[in-house]
């Protein structure tokens, strides 16, 4: 993707601090902006999960109950193909990893 040029005005002491830490200002600013955008996305997701829209909660609950009922009755084949995917487990600080590790 081609880069877009923008002009950002920063206090001189902040520019000096950046220059002491990184030779490439653009890279430094890009990394900082990416981290901030990711942080805000996570914050938005947390807020959304903590306060879901009432209609989506009703829909999700109904779908989960339907799927759970079918799975208990052995009718889940159209909803879930157990031969696909691979077993994983959650490891704090690392995320999802292969279950065999």
User: 2-16, pLDDT tens digit by residue?
Assistant: 889 999 999 999 999
Global confidence as pTM: 0.52
Per DSSP, the three-state class of 92 is coil
**Pick the residue with more confidence: 35 or 72?**
35
Q: What is the mean pLDDT of residues 47-69?
A: 69
């Amino acid at each position: 993707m081609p880069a877009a040029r923008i002009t950002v005005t920063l206090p001189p002491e902040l520019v000096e601090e950046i220059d002491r830490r990184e030779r490439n200002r653009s890279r430094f600013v890009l990394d900082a902006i990416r981290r901030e955008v990711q942080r805000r996305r996570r914050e938005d997701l947390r807020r959304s999960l903590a306060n879901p829209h009432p209609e989506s909660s009703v829909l999700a609950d109904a779908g989960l109950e339907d799927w759970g009922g079918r799975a208990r009755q052995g009718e889940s084949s159209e909803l879930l193909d157990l031969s696909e995917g691979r077993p994983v487990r959650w490891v704090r600080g690392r995320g999802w990893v292969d279950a065999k590790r």
